[in-house]
Structure 1
Amino acid sequence: MSESGEKTQPRSFFYRFRSVDALLGERKELENQEIYFCPPDQLNDPMEGFKDLFWLGDEIVWRNLLKHYLACLTQSLLTAFIMGKDYDARLARNFVLTMPSTLPTEQVKGIHRRVCDTFFCIYKLADLPAMLASHTSALRREEVGFCLRAVHGIALKCVMKILREVGCLPDVNEPPTVPQITEEGVLKNLFKVLNGLKEHQVESKPEMLAALFGASAHIHRQMDLIRYLGVTDDLSRAWHAIFYAFPEHYVDSLRDLVYFNWYAACFVTDPTHAAMWGHYGDGHQGVCLKFRAEEREGQPPVLTLHGITGWHGGPNGGSQSYGDILLPFERITYTDKLPEVDFFRSIGRFPVPVLESQWYRDEQGNRSSCADDVLGNMSEWHQRYLASFKRLIFAKLRDWEYEDEYRLTLMSSLDSFNEAKDRKLRYRFADLEGIIFGVRTPLAEKARIIDIVGAKCKAEGKKSFAFSQAIYAAHNGKIEIYPLDLIKFN
């Protein structure tokens, strides 16, 4: 209870390690009272954002996947011819969000239709979707990659043929050498492998499948590396991304179709862990910010931040609206295996009409059975989808368990936080409970931090602030925190 007799909200504390440069350098995080939210690929764990996808669907969705592959390849080829040596394989990730119906021009849409017609008329490729659908067990990343690598040369040949026929390929930036493709032999081997899996019931043995296709992928990656090492000019290396590496980049980029983008700010509840100071506190030269969170009964504690809350229209176009956001501190779950994601039933980045027409319908209008699990009851599917998304972003392998991490997350189906500047959310100075200096934090940097905090305290009428010092305690070999009680503000 407060002195006035009012009931006060219980509080808990969370700690955030930062380098001095992040606080005082160009970012000015302390002066601006900002918390920066990182995309998964900027976090320390390379498995952040990894989605353990599997594919299990009928002929309709498999055929649409191949059509989507051809659409991405068409755009990549056009871009590579324009950019030449400056082409980067990572650009394919930008194309993966494009569906055949949303290709940039009517001409490109027409090219894609011709490419698909040509592709599915070659040998028995029209039967490939049905053969993939006939597998009763899910296909994993390596199996899907194996199939795409097998048809990639033929797909490449189809796209280039159609582009040349319509006069869409410029004369500049011609590929140094075009791989020679023996269509029938390659496809016979692919169908032989897929039929063999069923005949010998290998498809029902995940460990055997993983070993078989994992070995194939390992050999393929080595061959790709050898080919890449064999060329020295930038143009040849740029085309390597199209000729050889494209199937792998495509499979990797499919993860972007499943969940929308998310961003995280990481915290802990124990500021005395020496390894955490070493990893995230700039080798003990940084600091640790202590935040006070508001407890809520039966729910995770929250921190109030100021940032984008939505969009609104106007005479000059749309603009962002800003306000307070209550973000909960969610604890990371540590596991021996990351969550699996059913690709064909988790495509959440497209509006329902696009999902219905481009993934769950064939050219004759027949509907995929996968649609029943998604569109049958959108409310239930959406709840399952969000629960699966949450399991993914709050799961890490058990190797990281020592961190005992909590995190705040930002996410938006409208991709409102794609720009880094929009992921710098401002906290209330009153919620910054204290600052702990590292064992090796330079004296000059401590003084600069104290001066900035002092100015903020003066503006808010505070006469003290909870500064502390981390010390290595020789008697027990641990990091201990001692308050700097003598630092006061006039």
Structure 2
Amino acid sequence: SALLEIENGTFHFASKEELNDPLEGFVRVFWQGDKMAWEGLFRHYIYSVARALELYILKADDETLYHGTLVADVHCYKNNFFEKILLKLGEEFITDTDVQNLAGVYGDNCLKVSEKELQYILFYIHNNALIKCLEEFKKNKFVPAEEAEKQIKLLNFSLSVEKLVDAIKKVFSNEKMRVQTIESMEEIFEEMKEFSYIMKGAENDIFLHGKGSEEQIYNNDGNSVVQQHRKWLIVMADFPKVFVAQLRDMIYPKSYVVCFSKKNDNSAMWGNYADCHKGVCLIYDTGDEAKLKVGGRHIPLDVRAISYGGESIECNFFQTLGRLTMVQIREWLLGVDGVSSCYEAFSDVE
């Protein structure tokens, strides 16, 4: 990349994953809000489950299923029949007893929830969400009735949300104890997830596209049976994790940086970055007249010093929706009985 920079007069902007410090640019996201905020989150969860199911039926690739299934704005389907289906699913889902119990215990007690705990919560209600989507898709003839009923039957084993809520209530006042309780249940959670993989994947006929024959290595589209099972498992078993990862990307999009050093005589840097002292050091002018061309436009080359802190940054998801419009933010924070108090965080529009 250094040679290309010299030859073409370009800079390589690295993603956070390419940087050698795993905590570089890392933000710890948590979820803490009232009952309405949680209801809004659960509503968008079933929107996204329905979107994932739709994309699977349309034979989307793995990348799309992992990164293109979050419905950030349900009204992007305005004047589309799919919008009516999503809105109906959302209203039915957030009034479901299990969903109401979870929204109540986490919202009424304003509990602070980590990414791992959120995945765990969503795993408990995922089957319910997927069954509701399949039933609605069957009703609207998006999927053959026989196929939908077969999948619903396979999915129709439920985890006790009531027991989960009771366990949380016993320790909700002590965040550390609640986290320890969740962690102690993690092994059971992973075993149940593994069980769901087997029950819903490996022993399941190919859903919707493909003949479902064990002897057939490839289906009619040239996709291997293994590839198709993997895609179906993304929707059926992995989606709580996929959804939470997309929530992070929604509030903190991909970012890229190019890094420089103020000094050219640091021995450790010559050793690490200059081929063990055999390379060269390039010196750049960053004065007021320096301009950097990005996407066909010339913009100021704004070089800033890096400030290293001792602690990672934390932010509350429900109060970090500033990338969305005010209408979209309100939709995310809308519950059965009105808008969440978290909406006040966005009262300063500027």
TM-score w.r.t. structure 2 length? Answer: 0.79
Find the counterpart in structure 1 of residue 44 from structure 2: 68
Cα displacement (A) at 1:276: 3.7
Which region of structure 1 is more displaced relative to structure 2, 31-40 or 54-63? 31-40
In 2, distance between residues paired with 1:241 and 1:141?
18
In 2, distance between residues paired with 1:227 and 1:279?
46
In 1, distance between residues paired with 2:327 and 2:148?
38
Cα displacement (A) at 1:240: 1.4
Cα displacement (A) at 1:254: 1.1
Contact 2:38 2:107 in 1 (8 A): yes
Q: Secondary structure at the match of 1:289?
A: coil
Find the counterpart in structure 1 of residue 241 from structure 2: 248
Cα displacement (A) at 1:55: 1.4
Contact 2:43 2:94 in 1 (8 A): no
Q: Secondary structure at the match of 1:355?
A: helix
Q: Secondary structure at the match of 1:329?
A: coil
Find the counterpart in structure 2 of residue 307 from structure 1: 293
Match of 2:340 among 359, 368, 383: 368
Deviations 1:101-140 (A, max 9, x none): 2247622111112222432454443343232211234222
In 2, distance between residues paired with 1:80 and 1:175?
17
Identity over the aligned pairs, expressed in percent? 23
Find the counterpart in structure 2 of residue 233 from structure 1: 226
- Supply the AA of the counterpart residue of 1:43: L
In 1, distance between residues paired with 2:238 and 2:278?
42
In 1, distance between residues paired with 2:160 and 2:189?
15
Cα displacement (A) at 1:327: 0.6
Q: How does 1:257-336 map to 2 (within 5 A)?
A: 257-273=250-266, 275-277=268-270, 279-281=272-274, 286-294=279-287, 304-308=290-294, 322-335=297-310
Contact 1:64 1:359 in 2 (8 A): yes
Contact 1:40 1:262 in 2 (8 A): yes
- Supply the AA of the counterpart residue of 1:290: I
Q: Secondary structure at the match of 1:112?
A: helix
Query: Is 1:210 the counterpart of 2:210 in the alignment?
Result: no
Find the counterpart in structure 1 of residue 130 from structure 2: 156
* Larger helix percent: 2
Deviations 1:16-44 (A, max 9, x none): xxxxxx133xxx21122111222323333
Find the counterpart in structure 2 of residue 142 from structure 1: 116
Q: How does 1:106-185 map to 2 (within 5 A)?
A: 106-169=80-143, 179-183=154-158
Cα displacement (A) at 1:170: 6.7
In 2, distance between residues paired with 1:226 and 1:44?
37
Find the counterpart in structure 1 of residue 2 from structure 2: 23
Deviations 1:411-454 (A, max 9, x none): xxxxxxxxxxxxxxxxxxxxxxxxxxxxxxxxxxxxxxxxxxxx
Deviations 1:145-179 (A, max 9, x none): 221111011111111111111111379x9999664
Contact 1:303 1:328 in 2 (8 A): no
Contact 1:71 1:99 in 2 (8 A): no
Find the counterpart in structure 2 of residue 58 from structure 1: 34
Higher relative contact order (CA 8 A, sep 6+): 2
Contact 1:345 1:373 in 2 (8 A): yes
In 2, distance between residues paired with 1:147 and 1:65?
12
In 2, distance between residues paired with 1:228 and 1:127?
27
Matched residue pairs, number? 325
Query: Is 1:194 the counterpart of 2:199 in the alignment?
Result: no
Q: How does 1:373-452 map to 2 (within 5 A)?
A: 373-375=345-347, 377-379=348-350
TM-score w.r.t. structure 1 length? Answer: 0.58
Contact 1:136 1:203 in 2 (8 A): no
Cα displacement (A) at 1:352: 1.6
Cα displacement (A) at 1:92: 3.9
Q: Secondary structure at the match of 1:269?
A: coil
- Supply the AA of the counterpart residue of 1:23: A
In 1, distance between residues paired with 2:89 and 2:144?
19
Q: Secondary structure at the match of 1:307?
A: strand
Shift in CA distance, 254/327, structure 1 to aligned 2, threshold 3 Å: same
Match of 1:41 among 4, 12, 17: 17
Contact 1:62 1:133 in 2 (8 A): yes
Contact 2:65 2:231 in 1 (8 A): no
CA RMSD of aligned residues (A): 3.3
